Amino acid sequence: MDLRHIVDQVLLNDTKVLVEREREIMSKVLHHLREVDRRKLYAELGYSSMFAYCTDELKYSPDQSGRRISACRMLATLPEIEEKLDRGELNLTVLGLAKSYIKENNLTLPEQRQLLEEISNKPKGEVEKMLAPDFLPAPAHASTQKISKTQTKVTLVLDDAVMEKLQELQALFSHTKKRELPELIEFLCTQELEKRKKSCATVKSAPAQVKNQTRAIPTLIKKALWAKAEALCQYPGCHSRHFLQIHHRVPYAQGGTHAIENLRLLCHAHHARGHFS
C-alpha cells in the first residue's frame, strides 16, 4: 500500500479511524475466543488447550495468545472491560497485569471493578508500580543458567535506585548501540576492566621497603602486587579471581614488612589456610 500521495490531515484522520475500528474488532475477537473456549471447540480440532489453538491455529505469538485468552476470560465476569477496550482506556497488556494481580490477591468482584477503574487510562509502567507489592525480599544471589554455548541467562533483582542509574546511562548512550541493557552492561564491564589493566600496567615495580612503615599497605605496593599476580590467587594451582586478599608471608606483627617479596595475593579460602612457602 502506497500512502505517499495522501495529504497530512487526511492521513492522520484515517489513522485515527482505523485504530478505532481495530479496537472494535479486538472486542469481537475476544467475544469469539470466549465462545470457542466455552464450547471447547479447540478440542474438535485436535488441540489440547486454548493456548495451543491460538498459537498453532490462529498463528498468534505466545505473548499475544496469553493476553487474548486472559482478556476473553475476564469478559465473563467483568463485561465492562469491552467498553474500556473500545474507548482505549484499557489494553490487553494492562489487563494481563490486572488479571495476575486479581489472582494473586484473590480479589472479590467489587474489588476487581474498583481495580479496573484505578488502572484505566494509565500506561503500563504506572500500572506495574501500582500493582507491585510494597516489599518483596530479593534473592541473596543472582541466578545464572547456561542457555547456549556462548550465552548465559542471568536473573537478578535490582533496587529502583540502581534501575534509575541504569536508565540514566541508557539515556546517555541512547544515540549508540549501547542503549540496550545487555550491550550497556558489556560496555561498562569492558571499560572497567581496561581501566584496571591500564592502572596495573603503569606499576612496574614497588620499593622493597617503605620507611616509616605502618600496618596499612601503601597503594603503590598494592598495585604492584596486583599487577605481578595478574589479579589471580597466587596459591599454587589456584587461579581464582574472587575475594582476593593480600597476605604477609612473615606476619606484620612478627616484623614482616610490606616489601612485595613478603606479600602474596590470595583468595579467601587460601588466605584462611595461613602461610605457605
- For residues 33 and 126, state if they share a domain: yes
In-domain check, residue 210: no
Tell me the pTM.
0.53
Q: pLDDT value at position 255?
A: 84
The partner residues of 145 in beta bridges, in order of sequence, read 153
In-domain check, residue 137: no
Give the whole-angstrom CA distance, residue 275 versus residue 249: 6
- For residues 93 and 167, state if they share a domain: no
Tens digits of per-residue pLDDT, 55-91?
Answer: 999 999 999 999 999 999 999 899 999 999 999 999 9
- Per mean pLDDT, which range of 40-54, 130-144, 146-160 is the poorest? 130-144
- For residues 259 and 150, state if they share a domain: no
Give the whole-angstrom CA distance, residue 66 versus residue 96: 8
- For residues 170 and 263, state if they share a domain: no
In-domain check, residue 252: yes
Average the pLDDT over 185-192 and give the result.
Answer: 87
- For residues 177 and 248, state if they share a domain: no
Sign of CA dihedral 266, 269, 271, 277: negative
- For residues 122 and 180, state if they share a domain: no
- For residues 107 and 152, state if they share a domain: no
Domain closes at, from 175, 201, 227: 201
* Percent of the chain residues past pLDDT 70, beyond the cut: 90
The partner residues of 245 in beta bridges, in order of sequence, read 266
In-domain check, residue 136: no
- Cβ atoms of 179 and 166 within 8 Å: the answer is no
- For residues 19 and 100, state if they share a domain: yes
In-domain check, residue 138: no
In-domain check, residue 1: no
Residue range(s) defining the domain that contains residue 226: 219-272
Q: End-to-end alpha-carbon separation of the chain, Å?
A: 79
In-domain check, residue 211: no
- For residues 13 and 126, state if they share a domain: yes
In-domain check, residue 212: no
- For residues 157 and 267, state if they share a domain: no
Write down how long the chain is.
Answer: 277
Sign of CA dihedral 43, 48, 51, 57: negative
Tens digits of per-residue pLDDT, 5-23?
Answer: 999 999 999 999 999 899 8
Strand 263-266 to 143-146 pairing: unpaired
pLDDT, greater one: 121 or 158: 121
Tens digits of per-residue pLDDT, 233-264?
Answer: 988 888 888 888 898 888 888 888 888 888 99
The domain tally of the chain equals 3
Phi and psi of 170, rounded to 5°? -60, -40
- For residues 125 and 152, state if they share a domain: no
Q: 49: which residues sit within 8 A by CB, 6+ positions away? A: 42
Instruction: Examine the pLDDT at 277 and tell me if it is beyond 50.
Output: no
Give the whole-angstrom CA distance, residue 269 versus residue 56: 54
- For residues 119 and 189, state if they share a domain: no
Q: Distance of CA 109 to CAs 96, 119, 134, 277, Å?
A: 17, 16, 23, 74
Average the pLDDT over 80-105 and give the result.
Answer: 91
Rg of the chain, C-alpha, whole Å: 31
E strand map for the chain: 143-146, 152-155, 245-248, 263-266
